[in-house]
């Protein structure tokens, strides 16, 4: 029977996650970022399913050939996951395998569903490869700020759309304090509004997975590139490693990463079907 682990038992999955797999799985299993884990056995799990705390999908971990786990998956998704997902407005079951052997299993298990797929790229940046000379100039009126507690709390109401920053950070972190304890971030302000953010979405040890977003009205001004430089410099000053995960079809994101000197370290398949 597939059961949910309590957070205090997440450590039982340390032995079944792929150390060369997605950073998100390691961040959740180690308790840094929020998430839920469902396993075949709550005492000695062999296989599991991680539900990312930011509701950005699911990661299969452990033994991909575990018949006990696999034969229950479809019913579990239909009876447990689907109602909860629909209640919070999620319409797609988006999943990845923590190692490539999961791909065949996913394709077999869900062959009766309309299964779509896409390719993800994972990048990392080493300090010796960082192209620091490529920092763009900002148009007049745009200014980079570090995301501090003072800025986040906005007690003087100087930021008119502070809810944008709050919602972004709390997508990935249980509380603002947990973000400030583990992560770093920068934003660009224009006319008292935050128009671009770049911060640690997931963290494992000294590796920081970047989440970056620029409001549509301000895109095309190299804001993402500028703010990513600020983030990367802070990482290197504090012995941290920047990590970038994006869809292969996301050409603007890839262009920003490669312009800074990030190297593609691996690719993985993602799958989806509608609930």
CATH code 3.40.630.30 region(s) in the chain: 124-265
Whole-model pTM: value is 0.95
d(CA 120, CA 248): 5
Tabulate helix, strand, coil % of the chain (nearest 5).
Answer: 35, 30, 30
- pLDDT digit string (tens) for 119-171? 999 999 999 999 999 999 999 999 999 999 999 999 999 999 999 999 999 99
Pick the CATH number of 124-265 from 3.40.630.30, 3.50.50.60, 3.40.50.300, 2.60.120.10: 3.40.630.30
**Distance, CA of 80 to CA of 162 (rounded, Å):** 35
Encoded tokens for 29: 């299993």
Is the distance from CB of 275 to CB of 86 less than 8 angstroms?
Answer: yes
Length of the chain: 275
Model confidence pLDDT, tens digit, residues 6-28: 999 999 999 999 999 999 999 99
The correct CATH number of 3-113 out of 1.10.1740, 1.20.1250, 1.10.3470, 3.40.630 is: 3.40.630
- pLDDT tens-place string over residues 78-121: 999 999 999 999 999 999 999 999 999 999 999 999 999 999 99
């Amino acid at each position: 029977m597939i059961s949910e682990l309590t957070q205090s038992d997440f450590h039982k999955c340390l032995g079944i996650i792929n150390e060369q797999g997605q950073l998100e799985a390691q961040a959740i299993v180690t308790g840094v970022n929020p998430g839920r884990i469902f396993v075949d056995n709550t005492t000695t799990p062999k296989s599991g399913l991680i539900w990312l705390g930011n509701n950005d999908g699911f990661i299969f971990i452990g033994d991909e050939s575990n018949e006990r786990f696999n034969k229950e998956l479809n019913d579990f998704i239909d009876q447990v996951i689907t109602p909860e997902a629909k209640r919070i407005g999620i319409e797609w079951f988006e999943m990845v395998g923590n190692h490539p052997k999961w791909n065949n299993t996913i394709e077999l298990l869900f062959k009766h569903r309309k299964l779509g797929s896409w390719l993800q790229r994972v990048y990392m940046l080493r300090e010796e490869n960082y192209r620091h000379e490529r920092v763009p100039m900002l148009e007049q009126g745009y200014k980079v700020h570090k995301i501090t507690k003072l800025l986040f709390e906005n007690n003087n109401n100087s930021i008119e759309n502070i809810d944008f920053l709050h919602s972004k950070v709390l997508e990935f972190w249980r509380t603002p304090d947990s973000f400030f304890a583990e992560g770093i971030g920068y934003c660009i302000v224009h006319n008292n509004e935050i128009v671009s953010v770049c911060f640690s979405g997931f963290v494992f040890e000294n590796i920081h997975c970047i989440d970056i977003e620029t409001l549509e009205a301000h895109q095309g001004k190299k804001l993402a590139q500028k703010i990513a430089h600020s983030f990367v410099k802070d990482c290197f000053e504090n012995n941290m490693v920047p990590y970038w995960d994006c869809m292969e079809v996301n050409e603007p994101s890839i262009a920003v990463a490669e312009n800074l000197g990030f190297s593609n370290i691996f690719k993985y398949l993602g799958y989806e079907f509608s609930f």
